[in-house]
Chain A
Amino acid sequence: MQTTFETLADPTRRRIVETLRGGEQQVNDIVLQAGIHQSGVSRHLRILHESGFVSVRPDGQRRFYALRAEPFREMEAWLAGYHQLWEARLDRFGAALERRKSARSRKEPGQ
């Protein structure tokens, strides 16, 4: 997962991912839409491909790039766990508040 996060930590790669959300594209189209120089796009596409974010489909001389769902599902699962940890932590926060309230009531029975 560390690699997954590191891959998307780069803002240029995030722009490429955003561009590919509309469907598979060739390098030239990505260059135009993302506004990034071709050499940069090629380098970042290679990294995205190596880390599993992007698939490549050759068609004659052309190469089409598309997003793969797996790493995004992996991140989603990680985030769900992260949310669960915080939900549990805030559950304990609420329980601690209740304990403080009970303790105060015992000290101040008249209220």
Chain B
Amino acid sequence: MSDNCNLDAGDTPLAPAVFERTYNTSIEELWALWATKDGFESWWGPEGFRVEVHKLEPRSGGALHYDMIADTPEAIAAMKQMGQPLSHNTKGWYEEFAPHTRLTLKHLIDFIAGTEPYESLIEVDFEALGDMARMIVTAHPHRDAHWTRMSIEGFRGQLTKLDRRYDAG
């Protein structure tokens, strides 16, 4: 439970969400998606958004600054409906940075009105499995669920589509 995570004790009663994926590729390729500008921009979401990285310092304590930009008509409409800007400057940093082994990425959540800024944490562990590579992502739910909840409500349509895709699979 949260007592075992690195966030301030008592920040959240929720257990972290752990995701494990194995890919038919090298660890270097996985690492590049987390630790290079082109790599990070190619997948970091959420759905309907694109990311423009302004600063990425590949080292422990290095900055990761980017804009998250609504990029589809649905996302733009959802953000307008919620009274949110279409682009948001996001500040994160790599706390741990052990190439091809482990990184931890922290984000400063400073964009929620009426809430003191706080940090969110993502841990990523990498492991080589012969010709394949395994990645374990441990995402610690935000202490303040507002931002994620807004994403969920705003993009329920996209999530429904994903549900259908998974069901079909």
> Which chain A residues have a beta carbon within 8 Å of chain B's beta carbons?
1-2, 5, 8-11, 14, 75, 78-79, 81-97, 99-101
Contacts and interface: CB of A to CB of B under 8 A. Distances in A.
Contact of B14 (A5, A90, A96): A5
Interface string B1-37: 0010000011111100101010101000110110000
Nearest to A83: B17
A82 B43 contact: no
Given A2-B146, A86-B139, A75 B39 contact: no
A82 B21 CA distance: 17
B141 A96 contact: no
B30 A97 contact: yes
Contacts of B42: 96, 99-100
Contact of A96 (B33, B46, B158): B33
B141 A79 contact: yes
Given A88-B46, A94-B21, A96-B43, A5 B13 contact: yes
Contacts of B146: 1-2
Interface stretch (B59-67, B68-76, B96-104, B148-156): B148-156
Given A81-B148, A97-B29, A88 B14 contact: no
Given A5-B145, A96-B33, A96-B42, A85 B10 contact: no
A90 B158 contact: no
A93 B13 contact: no
Nearest to B45: A89
Nearest to A93: B43
Given A9-B143, A89-B45, A90-B137, 17 more contacts: A8-B13, A9-B10, A10-B10, A11-B10, A14-B13, A75-B14, A79-B141, A84-B163, A85-B148, A85-B151, A87-B166, A89-B43, A91-B162, A92-B44, A97-B30, A97-B33, A99-B42
B44 A88 contact: no
Nearest to A11: B10
A79 B43 contact: no
B46 A85 contact: yes
Contact of B12 (A5, A91, A97, A101): A5
B47 interface: yes
State the 4 A-B residue pairs at the shortest beta-carbon distance, nearest first. A8-B13, A96-B43, A81-B152, A96-B42
A102 to B, nearest CB: 12
A1 B162 contact: no
B12 A9 contact: yes
Nearest to B156: A81
Nearest to B23: A97
> Residue among B13, B17, B19, B149 with the most chain A CB within 10 A?
B13
